[in-house]
Amino acid sequence: MATLTQEMKDMIAAQQCFIGTVNADGTPNVAPKRSTRVISDSSIMFTEGTGGATYANIKRGSKVAVSVVNREIIDGYRFVGTPLLLESGELYEKAVVMSAKIGMPKPVAVVVINIEEIHSLKPGPTAGKRIA
């Protein structure tokens, strides 16, 4: 497991995250998920609201990449990990309440990503390089 720094946690909380998965035919799928949140030092989550391509890809076993960039300071990260779909339980029920409070439909699932790798998206010599 890779560990998130406070800077990474703050960026996830403040910026739009994009979730990458792989479709059945091998093509990439990238989707914005504004529900992305940090839930521990080594895992993040998002709610799957539509049950579309991202959900289908995860059900098929796709790994997940989460990218977040702060254009103001020209910095960012890519987090790669194995997803876990939760369609019931305490975390799922909390997500249902959170979604209702902001006027969103009941989520199909909560996706928890256990972070295995962290890559820098900062321009320069570390761009794309694994940092954790």
Query: Can you give the residue ranges of every domain in the chain?
Result: 6-120
pLDDT in tens, 6-32: 999 999 999 999 999 999 999 999 999
Residue 105, pLDDT above cutoff 90: no
Amino acid identity, position 41:
D
pLDDT in tens, 69-83: 999 999 999 999 999
- Using CA atoms, how far residue 109 sits from 32, 77, 82, 92, 119, in Å, is 16, 25, 15, 7, 26
Residue 87 sits at the vertex; the CA angle it makes with 22 and 105, to the nearest 5 degrees, is 90
- Using CA atoms, how far residue 20 sits from 78, 96, 99, in Å, is 10, 23, 22
Q: Which residues are 70's β-sheet partners?
A: 75
Structure tokens at 59: 């059900």
Structure tokens at 63: 């790994």
Alpha helices for 1-132 (secondary structure H)? 6-14, 53-59, 90-101
Smallest CA-to-CA distance from 49 within 67, 60, 65, 36 is with 36
Q: In which band, very low, low, confident or very high, does the pLDDT at 57 lie, cut at 50, 70 and 90?
A: very high
pTM of the predicted structure, to 2 decimals: 0.93
Q: Supply the CATH classification number for the domain 6-120.
A: 2.30.110.10
